[in-house]
Protein backbone atom coordinates (compact mmCIF):
# COMPACT_ATOMS: atom_id res chain seq x y z
CA UNK A 1 0.00 0.00 0.00
CA UNK A 2 1.38 3.44 -0.88
CA UNK A 3 1.28 6.66 1.15
CA UNK A 4 -2.12 7.60 -0.25
CA UNK A 5 -3.70 4.55 1.33
CA UNK A 6 -4.25 2.85 -2.05
CA UNK A 7 -3.55 -0.82 -2.43
CA UNK A 8 -2.62 -1.46 -6.09
CA UNK A 9 -4.94 -3.69 -8.08
CA UNK A 10 -4.16 -7.40 -8.23
CA UNK A 11 -3.87 -7.23 -12.03
CA UNK A 12 -0.61 -5.36 -11.54
CA UNK A 13 -1.56 -2.19 -13.35
CA UNK A 14 -1.61 0.05 -10.26
CA UNK A 15 -2.71 2.86 -12.56
CA UNK A 16 -5.24 4.33 -10.13
CA UNK A 17 -2.50 5.31 -7.65
CA UNK A 18 -2.59 8.97 -6.65
CA UNK A 19 -0.45 11.01 -4.33
CA UNK A 20 -2.07 12.03 -1.05
CA UNK A 21 -2.52 15.58 -2.37
CA UNK A 22 -4.11 14.38 -5.62
CA UNK A 23 -6.42 12.07 -3.74
CA UNK A 24 -7.66 14.83 -1.42
CA UNK A 25 -8.30 17.14 -4.39
CA UNK A 26 -10.11 14.41 -6.34
CA UNK A 27 -12.33 13.47 -3.42
CA UNK A 28 -13.14 17.15 -2.79
CA UNK A 29 -14.21 17.59 -6.42
CA UNK A 30 -16.43 14.51 -6.25
CA UNK A 31 -17.91 15.85 -3.01
CA UNK A 32 -18.93 19.07 -4.75
CA UNK A 33 -20.37 17.18 -7.73
CA UNK A 34 -22.55 14.90 -5.62
CA UNK A 35 -23.52 17.81 -3.38
CA UNK A 36 -24.92 19.57 -6.45
CA UNK A 37 -26.90 16.50 -7.43
CA UNK A 38 -28.24 16.16 -3.88
CA UNK A 39 -29.36 19.80 -3.84
CA UNK A 40 -31.23 19.44 -7.12
CA UNK A 41 -33.01 16.31 -5.95
CA UNK A 42 -34.07 17.75 -2.61
CA UNK A 43 -35.35 20.90 -4.31
CA UNK A 44 -37.70 18.68 -6.32
CA UNK A 45 -39.03 17.09 -3.15
CA UNK A 46 -39.61 20.58 -1.69
CA UNK A 47 -41.38 22.20 -4.66
CA UNK A 48 -43.30 19.35 -6.28
CA UNK A 49 -45.96 18.66 -3.58
CA UNK A 50 -47.18 22.30 -3.52
CA UNK A 51 -47.18 22.36 -7.33
CA UNK A 52 -49.21 19.14 -7.39
CA UNK A 53 -51.79 20.66 -5.04
CA UNK A 54 -51.97 23.88 -7.10
CA UNK A 55 -52.59 21.82 -10.26
CA UNK A 56 -55.17 19.67 -8.42
CA UNK A 57 -53.14 16.53 -9.02
CA UNK A 58 -53.80 13.53 -6.78
CA UNK A 59 -51.00 12.92 -4.28
CA UNK A 60 -50.13 9.62 -5.96
CA UNK A 61 -49.24 11.52 -9.16
CA UNK A 62 -46.09 12.75 -7.39
CA UNK A 63 -45.19 9.14 -6.69
CA UNK A 64 -45.74 8.22 -10.33
CA UNK A 65 -43.28 10.91 -11.43
CA UNK A 66 -40.61 9.52 -9.13
CA UNK A 67 -41.45 5.93 -10.07
CA UNK A 68 -40.51 6.42 -13.72
CA UNK A 69 -37.11 7.67 -12.66
CA UNK A 70 -36.78 4.79 -10.21
CA UNK A 71 -37.43 2.23 -12.96
CA UNK A 72 -34.59 3.63 -15.05
CA UNK A 73 -32.35 3.96 -11.97
CA UNK A 74 -32.91 0.31 -11.07
CA UNK A 75 -32.02 -0.95 -14.53
CA UNK A 76 -29.19 1.38 -15.48
CA UNK A 77 -27.22 1.94 -12.25
CA UNK A 78 -25.55 -1.44 -12.47
CA UNK A 79 -24.89 -0.93 -16.18
CA UNK A 80 -23.09 2.33 -15.44
CA UNK A 81 -21.17 0.71 -12.61
CA UNK A 82 -19.96 -2.10 -14.85
CA UNK A 83 -19.07 0.34 -17.61
CA UNK A 84 -16.97 2.26 -15.10
CA UNK A 85 -15.13 -1.00 -14.33
CA UNK A 86 -14.26 -1.28 -18.01
CA UNK A 87 -13.75 2.26 -19.25
CA UNK A 88 -12.73 4.09 -16.08
CA UNK A 89 -14.66 6.09 -13.51
CA UNK A 90 -14.09 9.57 -14.94
CA UNK A 91 -16.02 9.30 -18.25
CA UNK A 92 -19.00 7.70 -16.50
CA UNK A 93 -19.07 10.43 -13.83
CA UNK A 94 -18.98 13.01 -16.62
CA UNK A 95 -21.92 11.38 -18.40
CA UNK A 96 -23.92 11.26 -15.16
CA UNK A 97 -23.42 14.93 -14.32
CA UNK A 98 -24.44 15.97 -17.83
CA UNK A 99 -27.55 13.80 -17.64
CA UNK A 100 -28.45 15.29 -14.26
CA UNK A 101 -28.23 18.83 -15.65
CA UNK A 102 -30.34 18.02 -18.72
CA UNK A 103 -32.97 16.30 -16.59
CA UNK A 104 -33.21 19.24 -14.17
CA UNK A 105 -33.51 21.83 -16.96
CA UNK A 106 -36.20 19.74 -18.68
CA UNK A 107 -38.12 19.38 -15.41
CA UNK A 108 -37.94 23.11 -14.74
CA UNK A 109 -39.20 23.94 -18.25
CA UNK A 110 -42.22 21.66 -17.81
CA UNK A 111 -43.05 23.17 -14.41
CA UNK A 112 -42.67 26.70 -15.77
CA UNK A 113 -45.15 25.95 -18.55
CA UNK A 114 -47.41 23.60 -16.60
CA UNK A 115 -50.56 25.74 -16.86
CA UNK A 116 -50.23 26.17 -20.62
CA UNK A 117 -49.44 22.49 -21.09
CA UNK A 118 -52.43 21.49 -18.99
CA UNK A 119 -54.69 23.57 -21.22
CA UNK A 120 -53.38 21.92 -24.37
CA UNK A 121 -52.53 18.32 -23.42
CA UNK A 122 -54.37 17.91 -20.13
CA UNK A 123 -53.21 17.06 -16.62
CA UNK A 124 -52.23 13.53 -17.66
CA UNK A 125 -49.99 15.01 -20.32
CA UNK A 126 -48.32 17.31 -17.79
CA UNK A 127 -47.67 14.40 -15.42
CA UNK A 128 -46.26 12.40 -18.33
CA UNK A 129 -43.90 15.22 -19.31
CA UNK A 130 -42.70 15.62 -15.72
CA UNK A 131 -42.20 11.87 -15.43
CA UNK A 132 -40.16 11.75 -18.64
CA UNK A 133 -38.01 14.70 -17.57
CA UNK A 134 -37.36 13.07 -14.21
CA UNK A 135 -36.80 9.75 -15.97
CA UNK A 136 -33.81 11.26 -17.75
CA UNK A 137 -32.12 11.52 -14.36
CA UNK A 138 -32.72 7.83 -13.68
CA UNK A 139 -31.53 6.86 -17.16
CA UNK A 140 -28.35 8.97 -17.45
CA UNK A 141 -27.91 10.97 -14.25
CA UNK A 142 -27.66 7.70 -12.30
CA UNK A 143 -24.20 7.13 -13.78
CA UNK A 144 -22.38 9.55 -11.47
CA UNK A 145 -23.15 7.93 -8.10
CA UNK A 146 -21.84 4.38 -8.58
CA UNK A 147 -18.83 5.56 -10.60
CA UNK A 148 -17.88 8.10 -7.92
CA UNK A 149 -18.28 5.51 -5.17
CA UNK A 150 -16.12 3.04 -7.09
CA UNK A 151 -13.52 5.80 -7.66
CA UNK A 152 -13.27 6.27 -3.89
CA UNK A 153 -13.24 2.50 -3.24
CA UNK A 154 -10.34 2.13 -5.70
CA UNK A 155 -8.29 4.55 -3.65
CA UNK A 156 -9.01 3.53 -0.05
CA UNK A 157 -7.89 0.61 2.06
CA UNK A 158 -10.61 -1.69 3.52
CA UNK A 159 -10.20 -0.24 7.01
CA UNK A 160 -10.90 3.25 5.60
CA UNK A 161 -13.83 2.23 3.42
CA UNK A 162 -16.81 2.94 5.71
CA UNK A 163 -15.50 6.38 6.67
CA UNK A 164 -14.54 7.29 3.08
CA UNK A 165 -17.86 6.22 1.59
CA UNK A 166 -19.72 7.94 4.44
CA UNK A 167 -17.88 11.16 3.57
CA UNK A 168 -18.82 10.78 -0.09
CA UNK A 169 -22.43 9.96 0.79
CA UNK A 170 -22.40 13.05 3.00
CA UNK A 171 -21.86 15.13 -0.13
CA UNK A 172 -25.28 14.14 -1.42
CA UNK A 173 -26.66 14.74 2.08
CA UNK A 174 -25.07 18.17 2.31
CA UNK A 175 -26.68 19.08 -0.99
CA UNK A 176 -29.96 17.66 0.29
CA UNK A 177 -29.65 19.98 3.30
CA UNK A 178 -29.00 23.01 1.10
CA UNK A 179 -31.71 22.24 -1.45
CA UNK A 180 -34.88 22.76 0.62
CA UNK A 181 -33.37 25.87 2.20
CA UNK A 182 -32.60 27.25 -1.24
CA UNK A 183 -36.10 26.40 -2.44
CA UNK A 184 -37.73 27.86 0.69
CA UNK A 185 -35.88 31.15 0.33
CA UNK A 186 -35.83 31.55 -3.47
CA UNK A 187 -39.27 30.22 -4.41
CA UNK A 188 -41.31 32.96 -2.68
CA UNK A 189 -39.10 35.60 -4.34
CA UNK A 190 -38.15 34.32 -7.80
CA UNK A 191 -40.57 31.46 -8.39
CA UNK A 192 -40.50 27.72 -7.90
CA UNK A 193 -38.26 26.90 -10.87
CA UNK A 194 -35.40 29.36 -10.26
CA UNK A 195 -33.49 27.03 -7.87
CA UNK A 196 -33.71 24.22 -10.43
CA UNK A 197 -32.06 26.30 -13.13
CA UNK A 198 -29.33 27.31 -10.69
CA UNK A 199 -28.43 23.74 -9.73
CA UNK A 200 -28.57 22.62 -13.38
CA UNK A 201 -26.02 25.27 -14.39
CA UNK A 202 -23.85 24.33 -11.44
CA UNK A 203 -24.11 20.68 -12.50
CA UNK A 204 -22.76 21.53 -15.96
CA UNK A 205 -19.94 23.47 -14.30
CA UNK A 206 -19.10 20.39 -12.23
CA UNK A 207 -19.05 18.28 -15.39
CA UNK A 208 -16.47 20.62 -16.91
CA UNK A 209 -14.39 20.46 -13.72
CA UNK A 210 -14.42 16.65 -13.83
CA UNK A 211 -13.41 16.71 -17.48
CA UNK A 212 -10.33 18.84 -16.87
CA UNK A 213 -9.45 18.38 -13.18
CA UNK A 214 -10.29 14.83 -12.03
CA UNK A 215 -7.15 12.65 -12.22
CA UNK A 216 -7.53 9.12 -13.54
CA UNK A 217 -5.00 7.06 -15.40
CA UNK A 218 -6.84 3.76 -15.55
CA UNK A 219 -6.90 2.47 -19.16
CA UNK A 220 -10.04 0.76 -20.51
CA UNK A 221 -10.09 -3.01 -20.26
CA UNK A 222 -9.76 -4.78 -23.56
CA UNK A 223 -12.76 -7.08 -23.09
CA UNK A 224 -15.95 -5.13 -23.84
CA UNK A 225 -18.40 -7.89 -24.67
CA UNK A 226 -21.64 -7.72 -22.64
CA UNK A 227 -20.54 -4.53 -20.88
CA UNK A 228 -24.04 -3.09 -21.32
CA UNK A 229 -25.75 -6.11 -19.77
CA UNK A 230 -26.59 -5.80 -16.06
CA UNK A 231 -25.06 -8.64 -14.04
CA UNK A 232 -28.13 -9.40 -11.98
CA UNK A 233 -26.58 -12.68 -10.78
CA UNK A 234 -24.52 -10.58 -8.35
CA UNK A 235 -27.77 -9.68 -6.63
CA UNK A 236 -28.13 -13.32 -5.56
CA UNK A 237 -24.49 -13.76 -4.60
CA UNK A 238 -24.35 -14.98 -0.99
CA UNK A 239 -21.79 -12.27 -0.25
CA UNK A 240 -24.40 -9.57 -0.93
CA UNK A 241 -27.87 -11.00 -0.37
CA UNK A 242 -28.48 -9.71 3.14
CA UNK A 243 -26.68 -6.44 2.48
CA UNK A 244 -28.81 -5.70 -0.58
CA UNK A 245 -32.03 -6.55 1.25
CA UNK A 246 -31.09 -3.99 3.90
CA UNK A 247 -30.31 -1.50 1.13
CA UNK A 248 -33.76 -1.89 -0.42
CA UNK A 249 -35.54 -1.52 2.92
CA UNK A 250 -33.48 1.53 3.84
CA UNK A 251 -34.30 3.22 0.56
CA UNK A 252 -38.01 2.38 0.93
CA UNK A 253 -37.95 4.13 4.32
CA UNK A 254 -36.22 7.18 2.87
CA UNK A 255 -38.50 7.23 -0.17
CA UNK A 256 -41.59 7.14 2.01
CA UNK A 257 -40.22 9.99 4.14
CA UNK A 258 -39.22 12.20 1.21
CA UNK A 259 -42.47 11.71 -0.68
CA UNK A 260 -44.93 12.07 2.20
CA UNK A 261 -43.38 14.49 4.71
CA UNK A 262 -44.39 17.66 2.86
CA UNK A 263 -47.95 16.39 2.50
CA UNK A 264 -47.95 15.61 6.24
CA UNK A 265 -46.80 19.16 7.00
CA UNK A 266 -49.51 20.63 4.77
CA UNK A 267 -52.27 18.47 6.25
CA UNK A 268 -51.33 18.56 9.96
CA UNK A 269 -50.02 22.11 10.19
CA UNK A 270 -52.63 23.52 7.79
CA UNK A 271 -50.50 25.33 5.19
CA UNK A 272 -50.40 25.29 1.41
CA UNK A 273 -48.58 26.70 -1.61
CA UNK A 274 -45.33 28.55 -1.03
CA UNK A 275 -45.81 28.51 2.75
CA UNK A 276 -45.77 24.73 2.52
CA UNK A 277 -42.52 24.96 0.57
CA UNK A 278 -40.95 27.01 3.38
CA UNK A 279 -42.09 24.79 6.27
CA UNK A 280 -41.64 21.53 4.40
CA UNK A 281 -38.24 22.72 3.26
CA UNK A 282 -37.28 23.39 6.87
CA UNK A 283 -38.19 19.83 7.84
CA UNK A 284 -36.26 18.32 4.92
CA UNK A 285 -33.28 20.56 5.69
CA UNK A 286 -33.28 19.48 9.35
CA UNK A 287 -33.36 15.84 8.31
CA UNK A 288 -30.55 16.33 5.82
CA UNK A 289 -28.42 18.15 8.40
CA UNK A 290 -28.97 15.26 10.80
CA UNK A 291 -27.79 12.87 8.08
CA UNK A 292 -24.65 14.97 7.74
CA UNK A 293 -24.13 14.91 11.50
CA UNK A 294 -24.06 11.12 11.41
CA UNK A 295 -21.91 10.84 8.31
CA UNK A 296 -19.34 13.53 9.08
CA UNK A 297 -19.53 13.52 12.88
CA UNK A 298 -20.61 10.26 14.46
CA UNK A 299 -19.00 7.92 11.92
CA UNK A 300 -15.76 9.90 11.82
CA UNK A 301 -15.54 10.06 15.62
CA UNK A 302 -16.53 6.49 16.49
CA UNK A 303 -15.46 4.69 13.27
CA UNK A 304 -18.07 1.91 13.62
CA UNK A 305 -17.92 -1.09 11.33
CA UNK A 306 -20.83 -1.50 8.87
CA UNK A 307 -22.75 -3.89 11.12
CA UNK A 308 -22.63 -1.54 14.12
CA UNK A 309 -23.52 1.56 12.11
CA UNK A 310 -26.40 -0.26 10.42
CA UNK A 311 -27.77 -1.41 13.80
CA UNK A 312 -27.66 2.06 15.34
CA UNK A 313 -29.13 3.57 12.20
CA UNK A 314 -32.04 1.14 12.10
CA UNK A 315 -32.93 1.86 15.72
CA UNK A 316 -33.00 5.61 15.14
CA UNK A 317 -35.03 5.18 11.94
CA UNK A 318 -37.62 3.19 13.86
CA UNK A 319 -37.86 5.83 16.59
CA UNK A 320 -38.16 8.66 14.07
CA UNK A 321 -40.86 6.90 12.05
CA UNK A 322 -42.96 6.16 15.14
CA UNK A 323 -42.72 9.76 16.30
CA UNK A 324 -43.65 11.02 12.82
CA UNK A 325 -46.72 8.78 12.77
CA UNK A 326 -48.11 10.36 15.93
CA UNK A 327 -46.87 13.96 15.48
CA UNK A 328 -49.35 16.78 15.00
CA UNK A 329 -47.41 19.98 15.73
CA UNK A 330 -44.70 21.33 13.45
CA UNK A 331 -42.04 21.03 16.17
CA UNK A 332 -42.86 17.35 16.68
CA UNK A 333 -42.60 16.66 12.95
CA UNK A 334 -39.28 18.51 12.86
CA UNK A 335 -37.82 16.49 15.74
CA UNK A 336 -39.00 13.22 14.22
CA UNK A 337 -37.30 14.16 10.96
CA UNK A 338 -34.05 14.81 12.84
CA UNK A 339 -34.17 11.38 14.47
CA UNK A 340 -34.82 9.73 11.12
CA UNK A 341 -32.01 11.71 9.54
CA UNK A 342 -29.52 10.58 12.19
CA UNK A 343 -30.54 7.00 11.52
CA UNK A 344 -30.34 7.32 7.75
CA UNK A 345 -26.92 8.94 8.02
CA UNK A 346 -25.64 5.83 9.80
CA UNK A 347 -27.50 3.12 7.91
CA UNK A 348 -27.05 4.20 4.29
CA UNK A 349 -23.23 4.50 4.19
CA UNK A 350 -23.00 1.33 6.30
CA UNK A 351 -24.89 -0.59 3.62
CA UNK A 352 -22.75 0.89 0.82
CA UNK A 353 -19.53 0.15 2.68
CA UNK A 354 -20.63 -3.40 3.43
CA UNK A 355 -21.37 -3.99 -0.26
CA UNK A 356 -17.94 -2.65 -1.19
CA UNK A 357 -16.16 -4.75 1.44
CA UNK A 358 -18.03 -7.90 0.49
CA UNK A 359 -16.58 -8.09 -3.05
CA UNK A 360 -13.17 -7.97 -4.67
CA UNK A 361 -11.49 -4.91 -6.18
CA UNK A 362 -12.34 -5.78 -9.79
CA UNK A 363 -16.05 -5.96 -8.81
CA UNK A 364 -16.23 -2.53 -7.14
CA UNK A 365 -18.05 -0.77 -9.99
CA UNK A 366 -20.59 -3.57 -10.39
CA UNK A 367 -21.22 -3.72 -6.63
CA UNK A 368 -21.58 0.07 -6.36
CA UNK A 369 -23.97 0.09 -9.31
CA UNK A 370 -26.01 -2.73 -7.82
CA UNK A 371 -26.19 -0.97 -4.46
CA UNK A 372 -27.39 2.18 -6.25
CA UNK A 373 -29.99 0.18 -8.16
CA UNK A 374 -31.43 -0.85 -4.79
CA UNK A 375 -32.33 2.83 -4.40
CA UNK A 376 -34.35 2.54 -7.58
CA UNK A 377 -36.17 -0.53 -6.28
CA UNK A 378 -36.82 1.27 -3.00
CA UNK A 379 -38.30 4.27 -4.80
CA UNK A 380 -40.41 1.93 -6.93
CA UNK A 381 -41.99 0.61 -3.75
CA UNK A 382 -42.17 3.97 -1.97
CA UNK A 383 -45.18 5.45 -3.83
CA UNK A 384 -47.28 2.43 -2.82
CA UNK A 385 -45.77 2.16 0.67
CA UNK A 386 -46.01 5.92 1.12
CA UNK A 387 -48.32 8.09 -0.95
CA UNK A 388 -50.98 5.53 -1.83
CA UNK A 389 -51.25 4.32 1.77
CA UNK A 390 -51.20 7.94 2.97
CA UNK A 391 -54.05 8.82 0.62
CA UNK A 392 -56.16 5.69 1.09
CA UNK A 393 -55.42 4.37 4.60
CA UNK A 394 -54.37 7.31 6.75
CA UNK A 395 -51.66 9.81 7.51
CA UNK A 396 -49.91 7.68 10.14
CA UNK A 397 -49.91 4.45 8.13
CA UNK A 398 -46.81 5.01 5.94
CA UNK A 399 -44.68 5.89 8.96
CA UNK A 400 -45.87 2.88 10.96
CA UNK A 401 -44.87 0.75 7.98
CA UNK A 402 -41.46 2.45 7.92
CA UNK A 403 -40.97 1.64 11.61
CA UNK A 404 -41.63 -2.02 10.87
CA UNK A 405 -39.16 -1.99 7.98
CA UNK A 406 -36.53 -0.39 10.24
CA UNK A 407 -36.93 -3.27 12.69
CA UNK A 408 -36.36 -5.64 9.75
CA UNK A 409 -33.14 -3.79 8.86
CA UNK A 410 -32.02 -4.12 12.48
CA UNK A 411 -32.59 -7.87 12.27
CA UNK A 412 -30.49 -8.08 9.10
CA UNK A 413 -27.69 -6.10 10.72
CA UNK A 414 -27.61 -8.29 13.82
CA UNK A 415 -28.15 -11.75 12.38
CA UNK A 416 -27.30 -11.86 8.66
CA UNK A 417 -24.06 -13.68 7.79
CA UNK A 418 -23.23 -11.50 4.77
CA UNK A 419 -23.25 -8.33 6.90
CA UNK A 420 -21.10 -10.02 9.53
CA UNK A 421 -18.55 -11.26 6.97
CA UNK A 422 -18.26 -7.84 5.33
CA UNK A 423 -17.82 -6.13 8.69
CA UNK A 424 -14.92 -8.41 9.65
CA UNK A 425 -13.02 -7.15 6.57
CA UNK A 426 -13.24 -3.58 7.89
CA UNK A 427 -10.93 -4.42 10.79
Integer Cα distance of 264 and 62 in angstroms: 14
The model's pLDDT over 248-286, given as tens digits with 9 standing for 90+, comes to 999 899 888 887 888 888 888 887 666 777 787 788 888
Integer Cα distance of 174 and 290 in angstroms: 10
C-beta neighbour count of 272 within 10 angstroms: 14
Is the overall model pTM greater than 0.85, yes or no? no
Among 39-53, 205-219, 292-306, 323-337, which stretch is predicted with the lowest mean pLDDT? 39-53
Burial of 154 (0-12, 13-18, 19+ CB in 10 A): buried
The model's pLDDT over 174-193, given as tens digits with 9 standing for 90+, comes to 787 777 777 767 767 777 77
Average pLDDT, the chain: 81
Q: Among 184, 147, 254, which residue's Cα sits nearest to residue 39?
A: 184
Integer Cα distance of 340 and 379 in angstroms: 17
Domains for the chain: give ranges and CATH numbers.
20-217+234-424 (1.20.1250.20)
Integer Cα distance of 371 and 172 in angstroms: 15
Residue 78 near residue 229 (C-beta atoms within 8 A): no
Integer Cα distance of 298 and 331 in angstroms: 24
Decide if pLDDT at 234 tops 70: no
Residue 280 near residue 44 (C-beta atoms within 8 A): no
pLDDT at 7: 40
Amino acid sequence: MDESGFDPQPDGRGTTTLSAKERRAAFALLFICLMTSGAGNSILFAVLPPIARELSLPDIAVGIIYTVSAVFLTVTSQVWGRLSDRFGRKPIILIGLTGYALSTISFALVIENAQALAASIGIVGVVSCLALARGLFGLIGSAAGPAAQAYVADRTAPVERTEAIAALTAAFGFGAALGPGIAGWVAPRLGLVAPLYFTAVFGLTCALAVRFRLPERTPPKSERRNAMRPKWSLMFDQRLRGILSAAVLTWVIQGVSLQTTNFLVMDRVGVSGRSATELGGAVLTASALAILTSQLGIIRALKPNPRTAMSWGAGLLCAGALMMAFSHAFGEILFAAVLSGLGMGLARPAVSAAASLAVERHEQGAAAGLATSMAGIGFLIAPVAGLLIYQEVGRAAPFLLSAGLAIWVLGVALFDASVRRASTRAV
